[in-house]
Structure 1
Amino acid sequence: MLVAGAVALVASLIVGPAATAKSERQAAGTVIIGHDQEPVTLNFYITEGNAYTTSLAMNPVLASASVYNQKAKLVPFLVTAPPKLLKSNPLTVTFTYKPTATWSDGKPITGADFMATYRTIMNPNFDITSREGWEDIASIKVKGKTVTVTFKKGKSYAAWDALVAASPMPAHKVAGQNFNDLWRSSIDIASGPFKWVSWQKGTQMVLAKNTAFTAGPKAKVDRVVFRYIPSTPSLFQALQSGEIQVTEPQPQLQIVEIRKNSRFKVQSGPGYFWEHMDIQFGPKGHPALKQKYVRQALITGINRAQVRQALYVAPGLVGSAKELPVLQSHIFKPFEEYYQPNWKKWAFSQKKVISTLKGKGCTGGPSTPSAGNSAIWSCPGVGKLSFRFTTTSGNQLRALTFEIAQKQLKSVGIELLPRFGPAGQVFGQVLPSGDWDIFMFTWLGGPTSSATSFGLYGCGGDQNYMNYCNKSSSTLLQKAQFTPDPAARA
């Protein structure tokens, strides 16, 4: 819905520890990070683990072969050098894991681990979040720590560099296991600078420095504690009291006051996060949402610029509207070269909503927009325009966004009913089930989003939880998957 850059709040050393965290804070080199969402599982490869909070905790444990730097460029981490392109068609690439890349139990990281990763991902018995790109691999050849990947002819996967940069799975740990249940509550292996120690569900997770890690810079702290605090006010109270030292929230209103406090440092900037609302097209969604005119009424009935003004500009979270443009593209972000404001044509217009619904034979709604309206439209063959609105509970920014959208749509005769729940439940169960009408959440993309959007918006895409299907768009998105040149892809 709006481009929301990642915001990190870092408490200075003079912040005193709270009594509840005293033992943690006295430990040398311990950092306590507050987060509003808790993982469901430690396995970020499966659907239940497809959440930023899972990756935040597990990326330092199960390291990637390459990582993005501050310029959004992939740089080697577990590999000796950037992957080398051997042939363009069929696309063939090769890479080598570092001699120093080992698992925490002393076993070397080898091509066998990449092969195990491929086989696990492609196993239809496992609930893998996405097989995009992996399903286009024709063969993998392994020789010690060197891997050569050949894609199918005509399937030159555009994001191949990000694919081979994936975190390798330990072959000796995944062999013969039900991957759906592996690492659900604990993990006894690491390839990165940290290893998992404990998880007190509902409270915190603890990581410790992996002393066996020698493939890159060693961790600068001995322990990292993730403290899970789902309530936005409570999260900031914990920061103020010293119970936590760092938090990376959405741009909540409390940040305005935090900026004024010299005890804290606030870092913010543009990122590949975007908050949005998905509309359900599947059989479990409201039948009215399958009608194009109803979706257009929803889109034009919400004043996104007003949401930005009320929640970001007016409180002082950003200096001006120019600093936070309303997102007008699903594929590119405003700071990217090929961004085009394609959504701009769906401008806010309450009069247009009412005239459109009247023109389609809908009855029972208001004749003019009114803040006090209580009349809700009912449309031929699809019933009352009353929709379930799902998002995470405890998140103040999302609750306020919902309240604004609810009031705006009610004034034109469309009803939104809150269906909020814990992050683990709504993301792990409700979202993939398709049993919702409108769902507000954040997608975390990256520099490869223009090549990997088929999975989100293509017909049958493996993360297309809203079941959207436009055959023309789907064909173009699929073509983009196999167009390596960014200009041609755009």
Structure 2
Amino acid sequence: MQWMRMLAFAAGAFCAALMVATPPVAAQQRGGTMVIALSGEPSALVGFLHTDTGGHSIAANIFSGLVGLNEDFEPVPELARSWEISKDGLTYTFHLDPNARFHDGVPVTAEDVAFTFNDVVAKYHPSRGSWWPNVESATAEDEHTFVMKLKKPFPPLLTLLAYQLRSGAEILPKHIYEGSDPMTNPANEHPIGSGAFKFVEWSKGSHVVLERNDDYFMEGKPYLDRLIFQFIPDPNTRILAFERGEVDFIDYTAVPHNEVARLAKDPRFKLLTGADAIAVQGMWLLNVRKGPLAKNEVRQALSYAIDVNEISDKALFGAGRPAHSFLNSNLKWAFNGSYDVYDRDVEKANELLDEAGYPRGDNGIRFTINILWAAGRPYDGKSAEIIRDQLRDVGVTADVKTYDRPTFIEKVFDQWDFDTAMQLYSTGPDPAISVVTRYHTKQINHSPFTNAMGYSNPELDKIFDEDASEVNEEKRKENWDEAQKILMQDLPAIPVFEFPDGHLANARLMDAVTGPYGYFQSRHNAWFKD
């Protein structure tokens, strides 16, 4: 019970979760196709290759994890029907559902789970460095028993495994991947999982089609016949398709916020709201490797130069909140906004830039930087434009550049070819899972959504490392208070806004969101009401 209480704490039990009522089983109707609009095309459909939300919103339906989370942030069975945690918190024993089959009919065994972790996640997943080094072993004890042993206690482990975006814990078929290079295996584009829906088609530049898995191990599910993920980068086109009934669901990262108030009044639609477990922040990433941004005084000056209240209000049409920390305020147990000392102060910004050795030239310009953003997310584009305009007051010229999402990810996270970039970052369900991978020195690697900024602070690394095995709640709060203080002083990125978490859905669509992740979850519970 102690470890379950600790898990609840680590999962963010103090946060409000999405509350979507589940109707009686008799009310659930079979059939139909759910069309989901994505703001861009993912680079891959398998989770170990990336931590891109668009790709995971598809992969979550194809693959199964060991465990999931319900709307109360409690671990619930997926492939693992049950599990035990040793008293010392070091050994986790998972008992797999013997009825689970991959889409090609081959049974899912503990050997598949062990292979996924040891041969794929441990070697290739972008966030592996933030947790896998603490794993002593991951083994198949028998056909349906998988055991993971840790070197030190890590209370958020079940939460991490349920957060497949960050853990990569989508179980792969060993018989498909063994003996190959997982990064180039053909199954990456024609994935075979054990999830509620089977892969049918990926029409590049257009859509992905999945169909019902009649042999899904959760009896009687899924209810839908088909899922279609439509790539619609233009927000106006996206919302028009939704109003025409051509799209049934738009997740909160793709919702055009200027349309929410109007559509919420239309009886054909509904807004699914709640405090999403991901606790997303809109961040302005700063490449600290060279040039003006390598100086802390310059980064602080840029923070004084911008007005996050204006950015949040205009970019999100009043739907968001200005950010005051590197953690979202929904994470109430860990959030500390008292270090937000950067209210807009143009005089202070100019003073710091002068002291840093970047005086205005004859043309009034100190230096030029670029701001990259990914098409399909207009709030990022609007934020970049507002920042550009605000920086003019301190003699900094900003060149705003737009790229399709795969190119944006490549330039920022693989090539590090950027000065600054707009990017959503999750801070939940536990910062030990989401935040560490952004700012730890060991996370400076050429992988999506890791420490692309090149930021390193040994003092912060030590706090991160110690917190990973800390079980005392008050001590963890102290750790994250200090971590936020350091990050707000060093500013490898600048928090801009807290992202709203409302999803748009067809009013007939039921149980489209049944857990705290919302946008990347299996739709095995979803159904249409006549």
Shared topology, TM-score over 0.5? yes
- In structure 1, the residue corresponding to 2:347 is in which secondary structure? helix
Distance 1:51 1:402 in 2: 21
Same amino acid, percent of matched pairs:
22
- In structure 1, the residue corresponding to 2:80 is in which secondary structure? coil
- In structure 1, the residue corresponding to 2:285 is in which secondary structure? strand
Corresponding position of 1:296: 300
Distance 1:122 1:244 in 2: 34
Are the structure 2 counterparts of residues 182 and 426 from structure 1 closer, same or farther at C-alpha, using a change threshold of 3 Å?
same
Say whether the 8 Å CA contact 2:176–2:187 is kept in structure 1: no
Corresponding position of 1:257: 262
| Residues 149-196 of structure 1: per-residue CA shift (max 9 Å, x gap) | 2112xx323432235542222111110111111356633522111111
Distance 1:128 1:450 in 2: 15
Corresponding position of 1:72: 73
Q: Aligned pair 1:438/2:420, yes or no?
A: yes
Distance 1:242 1:146 in 2: 45
Q: Aligned pair 1:306/2:313, yes or no?
A: no
Q: Relative CO higher for 1 or 2, CA cutoff 8 Å, sep ≥ 6?
A: 2
Deviation at 1:28, TM superposition (A): 5.2
Which of these residues, 318, 321, 345, is aligned with residue 341 of structure 2?
345
Q: Aligned pair 1:246/2:246, yes or no?
A: no
Q: Aligned pair 1:156/2:153, yes or no?
A: yes
TM-score, length-scaled by structure 2: 0.76
Are the structure 2 counterparts of residues 140 and 484 from structure 1 closer, same or farther at C-alpha, using a change threshold of 3 Å?
same
Distance 1:107 1:185 in 2: 18
Say whether the 8 Å CA contact 1:280–1:438 is kept in structure 2: yes
Q: Aligned pair 1:180/2:183, yes or no?
A: yes
Distance 1:112 1:333 in 2: 41
Distance 1:79 1:287 in 2: 50
Corresponding position of 2:57: 56
Distance 1:474 1:419 in 2: 32
Deviation at 1:251, TM superposition (A): 5.1
Distance 2:434 2:413 in 1: 20
- In structure 1, the residue corresponding to 2:47 is in which secondary structure? coil
Corresponding position of 2:130: 132
Following superposition of structure 1 onto structure 2, how do residues 173-322 of structure 1 map, counting pairs within 5 Å?
A: 173-182=176-185, 186-215=189-218, 218-248=221-251, 249-250=254-255, 252-271=257-276, 272-282=279-289, 286-312=290-316, 315=317, 317-318=318-319
Corresponding position of 2:104: 105
Distance 1:300 1:365 in 2: 21
What one-letter code is carried by the residue in structure 2 that aligns with 1:435?
D
Corresponding position of 1:392: 374
| Residues 202-255 of structure 1: per-residue CA shift (max 9 Å, x gap) | 111100001111235511110011111111111111112222222122452122
TM-score, length-scaled by structure 1: 0.82
Deviation at 1:136, TM superposition (A): 1.9
Corresponding position of 2:36: 33
Distance 2:130 2:32 in 1: 40
Are the structure 2 counterparts of residues 295 and 235 from structure 1 closer, same or farther at C-alpha, using a change threshold of 3 Å?
same
Are the structure 2 counterparts of residues 482 and 118 from structure 1 closer, same or farther at C-alpha, using a change threshold of 3 Å?
same
Name structure 1 gaps, 5 residues minimum: 8-26, 319-323, 367-373, 378-383
Structure with larger Rg: 1
110-119 or 50-59, which deviates more: 110-119
Say whether the 8 Å CA contact 1:454–1:481 is kept in structure 2: no
Distance 1:415 1:270 in 2: 37
Say whether the 8 Å CA contact 2:295–2:356 is kept in structure 1: no
| Residues 305-337 of structure 1: per-residue CA shift (max 9 Å, x gap) | 11123344xx4x54xxxxx44222224533522
Say whether the 8 Å CA contact 1:6–1:268 is kept in structure 2: no
Corresponding position of 2:10: none
- In structure 1, the residue corresponding to 2:398 is in which secondary structure? strand
